[in-house]
A = this chain, B = another copy of it.
Amino acid sequence: MPEVEALTFAEIERKLPHADDLHAMDLADLKAAFAGESQAAEKYLVFAEKAEAEGLPNVATLFRAISFAETRHARNHLRVMAGVGATADNLQTAFEGESFEIDEMYPAYVEVAKVQGDKQALKSMSWALRAEMDHKRMYAEARERVVAGGDIDAQPVSVCTVCGHTVIGDVPDKCPVCAAARSAYRTFA
């Protein structure tokens, strides 16, 4: 297959569905479809990792490609719901989502996991809660910079592949949350 240049975002943008003046039933359906596509995309990514571990690299590729297709559907549904704003607004939306998870959702789930005595559930919920606190701060700082008219500084952002711990700048020798080695981090730059 010959190599082809990917379309630019602006070229894709012109072809995509855009915000509708939606009726209530379609809005409800799009919300449900966005939730379904998002969960399918995540499941297929995990299934790809599992296929890789079982020595089935081609099945892993199929799962990864179809996961990407589901992200395209999720994006299109989100656009039609007018769920994508300017970046300053998107940072605010992200900040509010993280705040909900920190102030309401995970503290409630952590207490339930404690009282029910499900240790693995408690671990998974606690790891997520810790990471969301860092995310909230990062989004708040980024929003200030964007509202002031600029980008944030160019710095690598690294994520622990085990627990999701997120750090800007230097990667720690050991994950402060789950104690995974430095090599467990994946860096975005």
Contact = CB atoms under 8 A, between A and B. Distances in A.
B159 A72 contact: yes
Q: Interface size for chain A: under 10, 10 to 19, 20 to 34, or 35 or more residues?
A: 35 or more
Interface string A1-32: 10011110110110111111111011001101
Copies of this protein in the complex: 2
Interface majority SS (helix, strand, loop, mixed), chain A: helix
Interface of A: 1, 4-7, 9-10, 12-13, 15-23, 25-26, 29-30, 32-47, 49-59, 61-66, 68-80, 83-84, 86-87, 90-91, 93-94, 97, 101, 105-106, 108-109, 112-113, 116-121, 123-125, 127-128, 131, 135, 138-139, 142, 146, 151-166, 168, 170-171, 178, 180-189
